Structure 1
Amino acid sequence: MIDTSPRALRTSVFCLATAVALGGCGSFPDHLDPDDALLHEAMQGTGSQRPPVDPASESPAADSRQAQAPTPPQRQLIRGNQQFVRQPAPAPAVKDEASGDIVFNFADQPIEAVINSVMGDLLHENYSIAQGVKGNVSFSTSKPVSKQQALSILETLLSWTDNAMIRQGQRYVILPANQAVAGKLVPEMSVSQPSSGLSARLFPLRYISATEMQKLLKPFARENAFLLVDPARNVLSLAGTPDELANYQDTIDTFDVDWLKGMSVGVFGLQRASVAELMPELQKMFGPDSGMPLAGMVRFLPIERTNSVVAISSQPQYLSEVGDWIHTIDEGGGNERQMYVYDVRNMKATDLAKYLRQIYGTGAIKDDAPAKVAPGLRTATLSSLNTSGGTSGGLNNSSNSPPVSDDEDQAPAASEDGENAEPGAAKSLDAGTRITAQKSSNQLLVRTRPVQWKEIESAIKRLDNPPLQVQIETRILEVKLTGELDLGVQWYLGRLAGNSTSTTVANTPGSQGALGGGGAGLGADSLFYSFVSSNLQVALHALETNGRTQVLSAPSLVVMNNQPAQIQVGDNIPISQTTVNTGNADSTLSSVEYVQTGVILDVVPRINPGGLVYMDIQQQVSDAENQTTNSSDTPNNPRISTRSVSTQVAVQSGQTVLLGGLIKQDNAESVSAVPYLGKIPGLRWLFGNTSKSKDRTELIVLITPRVITSSGQARQVTDDYRQQMQLLRPAN
């Protein structure tokens, strides 16, 4: 706010108040136990009432409140015009001098001879030469000059030899310069047409002192030009030729301006620190002895009565920066601890409290330890006997492991003694700072100083962001490798792109070699991936329509960023591990493990701000053969055929990546013969027939991630699925 009225300035200065002592810093506790005293203080109403939260709001606004919020300090700036010198008046147009007929050509001539030639022979003026006038000069003109110009040239030549010319009555007197002033010249005010020769002039000053003007003018004046410096009357008296006096007048007019009108003034009130504490810090940064480039550019005036600082500078932008420095230093002044309540929007308050302890605590960050049984106890498996004497286990098994509490408030984020802490790895807060989480309302309670709360709040806002989500559409296809697909989908797609011939499968577009462990036994170029273009999408759709491609599964899901997701379409096959005879002929104890089969897809997406999705993909397609029984009527475990791929890919949002190369070959042999005759040795070929078949299939996976950055996009995804489901409704 800019207000130049004196009343506003006085009002703003009188309104500044309240300074408290600076506080110290200490260590920070590491445990995450709920702070009952802090919860009680929050429930009793410490701090202003919390406004209701709009559920439709999506912006992660920090609804933080503090107890008895202090009035912010007032700041007032009065900007100057930054005009500390007067702009020079435009030079008058040069008048054409009357051409003369005088030509000078002096070559090391005595000054007396030059005076006689100019004053006597040329100008016919009355003059006298005092004793002590001496010196030689050399001077010549390139073109003729007039008589008036000749007199000015003579004054210049006299100044070269430390001589001067003054006018006394009707004659000129030439004498040494050090004898030309005392008793011979009378200072006069500025005249429109000054007389020739050395004269003295008074220069009254308006805005600048005579002493300061002498300092500014001294580099531009001759050595003995200053006759009088009168601070009381604020005038200067200088001696010189008419041209020299005119130059002095122009220089004085340039610097004699309203200096205060050009200066900018700022009044900064302090809220926590005192003026006595703040002034030494400001002098260290901006004082003449600070060694900074801005040393001396800003001057400070303390006003202890109102606990404020007045800053004066020639640059108004400096005052804004100085005000920020004063505010920063004032924030570190003795501010008392206050209660802050933060409504956590996008994560668990308990998790956020744990992260803050890891950031500002003294202990090292630890992962959650796996669950352990109590000392002296061991795990056991509960099973039930079935009618056939066996026991079942697997998915429905349970153990007597100790219960795990979901109260995350009880889990410390770091060790109490900090034995694993790394020096310098964490920044500790003072011992009076306390952080706890209210699980029922998902709120974070922080009791700390205002200057520390700003840093904590900044970290909270960065952590409490709406999580990104990604929609992952997956299509798992099984292609029969017959006809033009005999060499595989990789070769087929390459031939469509024009990069493969009928005799080679090299130079396949998008082929990146074997990825993961799934292709280790299939050759260097059997497992591949490719980014699918629109043309290849059409080709894959054609494969689905001609009957040689079977869609095993087409799941779609939405998962949060950096969270694992799993899709499983299949059965859990029981696998007998061990069988123990209990001694009873009618019962046996069996241990059974269930193995997941079918289509299993595990994906962990990671999204960067540019929309690129990194995915850790584990794809498995497995099937089990029919169980058979042995001679003792004990079922054998089925053989499980598995095709899997594990890889990491980076895909732009909306782009489709194709994983392929998982080829499976089934060899079958069938024998048909005439009953009885086909079993005769040596005649089996005559009465029977043996046929062999070979079926080759290839598994390909199409994955398309789409990043969801807002709730509007999430609703759009839901609406798209709803419309697709409505298309499947039977017509009335």
Structure 2
Amino acid sequence: MKNFMLCVASAAILSGCAELADRDRNNLEGWRASTILGGGDGRTAARSEGRIVSGQVVEAGNGTIYPGRQSLFRDSDFVNSTGERTVSLNLVDVSIAEAAAAILGELLRENYVLDPAVTGTVNIRSSQPISRTTAIEVFELALKQNNAALVRRGDSFAIVPLSGELSIGASVTREVPIGYSLRVIPLRHIGAQEMATILQPFAGGNIVGVDAQRNIIVLAGTSADQRAWQETVTSFDVDWLANRSVGVFPIRGRSAQSIVNGLDLVVETDANFEPIVVFEVIPENNSILAVAKTPSALQNVSTWIRRLTQEGQNDAQVYSYDMKYARASDIAPTLAQILGVQVETADSGTANTESADFVNASFSGDQNATRIVASEATNTLLIHATNDEYQRVLGMLHRLDVPPRQVLVEATIVEVSLNDELRYGVQYFFENNGNTGALTRSSTDLSIGSEVPGFSAVFGGATPEVIVDALEDVTSVNVVSSPNLMILNNESARLVVGDQVPISVQTATDATDDSDVFVSTVEFRDTGVIFEVTPRINSSGSVVLDIQQEVSTIGETDGSTGNPIISQRTISSAIAVDSGETIALGGLFEQRSTNGTSGLPGLARQPIWGGLFGRQSRTDSQTELLVLITPRIVNSNVDTRRITRNLRERMQNIRLDDATLSNTINTPSMATANSADIASRRATQTRNASAQGDVLAAVQTAVQAQPATTGTHFTYFGAFSNEQAARAHWSELLASNGSDLAGLQPRFTNDNGTISVAVGPMDASRASQLCVTIRSDCFSTGG
């Protein structure tokens, strides 16, 4: 009987293991040998091709096998179950080992091997529940940020370093800085691809994944950026946009506002003369945001934008560019050197003309010559150029007119007493005894050069406090100074802590009234701790520091000159170091001798027999000056927050009323309006139009109302650059709508070079029906 019960129990255990082994297996079959290998959507090339990458076998080192949890999934601090197939992730500043245990072990109950070489932290938060398959996708993205990959090895997974065999194309990035994280944003009402189009001007390359099937978008960035992007998503992912078409149209060569002014005159309208497409200008990148009721209406907007931006591209116009960060007077000469154009600086009503050393013939000799005027009073650049040349200038301005980057330089200046354990100096101690615990030297020496003897070492993520504590365990350390300086990129900062000592540099005798007058020239010399640094930020994220460090002390007075003797220890060096890493500069020794006398007061200092009542001593000491510097690049998120705030305000103006849109006309391009409405709208647009580059001329004829008698209407078709194109358009209309146009004689009107076809007069009902029936670019008006 006992043997029978043991067999039954064993069978039950084995069947349970089989069930657990098969659980969620189908969800992971697509992940065979998959890892984050690059690509814009965060998906792996291996999975899309369904094969093992290059047939390589990934060694997991001496990693430990972690078995999957043999129990049903339960909520934890990191992963919470929100439904039968969805979870919520809350992995904030957790190690890769903890994240793997939560996702692979607790959530999916998979066996996995963690290579000891894989280290780092993970930051993943899901604002809404996501599927378990999506959770592992995001986990792989986080592993890539830590230079690691998740690969399939038989019936288990392996987390290994992202080696050269696993990389395809692009180079592997560095470990992400503190505050950088991935965020999965599921969308409810708007499509993922449309949301990515809207976020592109703000997030750009930070959109690491777009999944149209699951309707999610994955963003990577700092916490401040993530908050700003989330606000943008919240503004657009609303129910009233569920059945709308959204488009973002970058404008080249024209002002986006002037294009909107023209679109307002040709936009589709409903039976109540309300537009079914509304626009908002995004001035940060000169784009137009359009929200339409139907895709066909949005397509019609795209067609009109293309027409309006093509008009007059070869004619020179005056563009105004307001500088956001740099000074216009500083940027204008740079543009002059690049383009070889004439530059003028206007200040208080006067103009000082500066020209480049060379002039390109394509820019001079005609009315379209490119000219740039810098207004110091308004910090504005006025650019007279054609569309093509303005686009070149605008592209350069976007790279030159950027927020000034800053560097926080944390410096600690210490004097280290050299004892028996440090008799060979601090450098020897670091190299032979200091590579333990948190105090680990970087494998790469980033020193560029030093003008004086000494040494430099990079200590990865170790802070100056950790290094000082390590030295205090073996000797005495005197912290001379610990300044923190916030410095603009390529600017210098100088810190002086000490005294100014008068130094006589010249003495002269002035004979007046038979008496000699001595005249002495005195200069004041800074002494103490003098620290001067100039940071230069590289595109790779490293910082080059030009350092001038001096520690000087005042000694005895020189008998011949009467000036005090100043003892100096100076470091002058140029160092390249990554943001957040600590660089140590040292190797400057100082030998000090101290003479002392002890004994009975008064008697011990007698010149001959004082030795009978006391003794003299001599103490020799040696110190080394050590400078610990940690630069941290400070990135400003002001622009991201400001753009998001402005976009949210515009969304309040762009919202379409469902009640107004319920009776919209689906296909006509334009509808009938009375002459008073047209005159009002034209007057408003004319006030908003700029004197140069106004696109209203391109559509003026299409809406120009001829003087009409009461009760008569005229209908206008199209806006063309020549009469031949207008006549061809009229022939097409007759061929397809001959019965509707019977008896109407066309007139070809010309307004500032734009040709339109006008027919009429006719009664109001026929004019309205004509636009509805023909469905062409038409507009009717009358008295």
Please indicate the TM-score interval, normalised by the length of the shorter structure: 0.3 to 0.5
Higher radius of gyration, 1 or 2: 1
Q: TM-score, normalised by structure 1?
A: 0.40
Identify the structure with the greater strand proportion: 2
Identify the structure with the greater helix proportion: 2
**Greater RCO, CA 8 A, separation 6+:** 1
